[in-house]
Structure 1
Amino acid sequence: MKKRFFKPLRIAALLLALAALSCTTTDSTREFHTPEIAWLGEGNPKVASVSGEGVRYSLARISLDENARIVAYPDESGKNGAISLGAFLKMTGASVAVNTTPYTKSKRILGIHISDGKKLSGEIGRYSAVIFEECSSGLRARIVESQSESAFGVAEFAFGGFFTILKDGEIMEFRHTSYDARSAIGIADDGKTVFILAVEKGFSSAGLSYTQCAEIMRKLGATDAMEFDGGGSTSFFAENGEGNTVKVRESLRKNAAYMGFRFR
């Protein structure tokens, strides 16, 4: 009698679990409209905060001119391990900061991380990376879809992440859709303009998909974009020196890798 009683319950529970999984990982029908961005500030960087349709995200627009300087953690000093966003800001004096490369439970970085020309973590071919190189007018950025030793050349800085979401103005396709907190970077103007996007997930924000992040980047004018580590790792802060500050609600999680910008 027990076997006949419990077997239908087990089958029903399994069907419910499969239904819930399919709803959370493959639902691509949620409507999303990218609004016009109201940038705050006239200088470098510009910042913006968007809230609506059950989603909240923050943005920074950075011109890579001669006044922009990149800071990173870890750096050539040899310090490593997980730190908070606040600790990174205090350590570097950055005006813009975002988490970058994913990492293991033991806080070992998974993917490329180059700071001031020094490689501090190696390549993972299936992941993308953003590369910063010196040029006559400051820095120039480019995104590579796959991390390979030959891709980084004389890079001053390089930061790994997960996947390319926008390439040559075209949104990449993904087999599954999920909505989560996100950290992403996009480039425009032949690599001279950088956009940082940080999406929240919580009581007031349902998160966004990779595709939706790509839609935002393309509307901003980016030609290429990629995702950094997201979810509970998402950490972002930006201030423009004109009294305007945007940030995501900082999680309790400490991250193993960050990038930031300072301005003269």
Structure 2
Amino acid sequence: MNRIRLVSLLALLSLAAAGCKKDSQAQVPHYTIESPLVKRIADSTDLMAQVFSDTVFQVSEGVRESDVHYLSKEGYAMHAFILEVDLNNPKLKLEAGMPYNVPAYAMQTVPDMAKYMQAAGSPVLAAVNADFFNTSTGEPRGILVMNGKVMKTTWANARSSTFIGVKKDGKVFIGDRADFAAMQNDFEDALGGGPMLVKDNQILTQTDLSVEPRTGIGMSADGKLYFIVVDGRSFYYSNGITITQLGHMLKACGAVKAINVDGGGSSTFMIKHPLADVWQVRNRPSDGTNRPVGNAWLIVTKP
């Protein structure tokens, strides 16, 4: 093969390769993100390599849900569920849920807790699982205040280090052990939690690097509450995240304080569906069914 023919062949191969590269780039779908919260997470963190789909809809006045299917930066399939609750809305209230709506240790699924609470006169709009618990008795690992009564002031281990409380004036507070010791008589309801993820608008360093289904709760400076559940333990559906990644997600939503609560098979994200008169668990608990848990946080409408 002479030099002219060789140069011509190389030029043709180069053009063909460029064409293939152009076609490959053209085939990458461009997706326009619908949810403002998902947009914040995608733009301000490196958690999402690509968003495949997202959905945002109004559960009720002041309560909005965002669901997202995405590819993580590590290349894994992910599904996350985010609830944004505007607690400045005078019709909304955060309440602690206990099994059978009684102040005693037991276990019950989140939807069943909602049924008992609603039967007692508090219409439930949404809920997530809350504190870690003893799987034999239902006793929470952290503190417990129910209906103004301080039921438990001890912490099971170092991991149980935070709490969320609803003060008697209706304001929600996220704090640590020292805060609870100083304020325990100020709360109408309070439930414990795991590590603090965000404090004073700063991500905190975590030593737990495990990847699991997770539930997190955060508060913004302007009174918005965020519930996030990220599913896991299912390779083709959703693989889970670390608690540090959960903290980044909550901070991106707007939380200046946020904590990790029970995860794994306990992670439950439930709403009162706006198009049907049913409570619907929106995520896929990794047990394959709704796990009975020790307590929950519920968004209710005031009578």
Give the TM-score taking structure 1 as reference length. 0.77
Task: State the alpha-carbon separation in 1 of the partners of residues 231 and 57 from structure 2.
Answer: 20
Q: 1:89 aligns with which of 114, 118, 128?
A: 114
Letter in 2 for 1:52: Y
User: How many Å apart are 1:195 and its aligned residue?
Assistant: 0.4
Query: Alpha carbons of 1:199 and 1:228: their partners in 2 closer, same or farther (altered >3 Å)?
Result: same
User: How many Å apart are 1:169 and its aligned residue?
Assistant: 1.0
Per mean C-alpha deviation after superposition, the further-off stretch among 179-188 and 152-161 is: 152-161
Letter in 1 for 2:250: M
Q: 2:177 aligns with which of 135, 146, 152?
A: 146
User: How many Å apart are 1:229 and its aligned residue?
Assistant: 0.8
Residue correspondence of structure 1 range 63-142 to structure 2 within 5 A = 63-64=86-87, 65-74=89-98, 77-93=102-118, 94-106=124-136, 107-124=138-155, 126=158, 127-135=161-169, 139-142=170-173
Q: 1:255 aligns with which of 293, 296, 300?
A: 293
Query: Alpha carbons of 1:84 and 1:240: their partners in 2 closer, same or farther (altered >3 Å)?
Result: closer
Task: State the alpha-carbon separation in 2 of the partners of residues 122 and 37 from structure 1.
Answer: 41
Letter in 2 for 1:108: E
Query: Alpha carbons of 1:117 and 1:214: their partners in 2 closer, same or farther (altered >3 Å)?
Result: same
Give the TM-score taking structure 2 as reference length. 0.68
Higher relative contact order (CA 8 A, sep 6+): 1
SS in 1 for 2:206: coil
Residue in 2 that maps onto 1:185 = 217
Q: 2:231 aligns with which of 197, 200, 213?
A: 200
Gaps of 5+ in 2: 1-45, 72-76, 119-123
Deviation by residue 1:114-164 (Cα, 9 ceiling, x = unmatched): 1221123223284111122244xxx32221133642233311111111110
Alignment root-mean-square deviation, CA: 2.6
Structure 1 or 2, whichever has the larger Rg, is 2
Query: Alpha carbons of 1:47 and 1:231: their partners in 2 closer, same or farther (altered >3 Å)?
Result: same
Letter in 1 for 2:173: R
Query: Alpha carbons of 1:72 and 1:142: their partners in 2 closer, same or farther (altered >3 Å)?
Result: closer
Moved over 3 A (4+): 34-39, 75-80, 239-246
Per mean C-alpha deviation after superposition, the further-off stretch among 75-84 and 248-257 is: 75-84
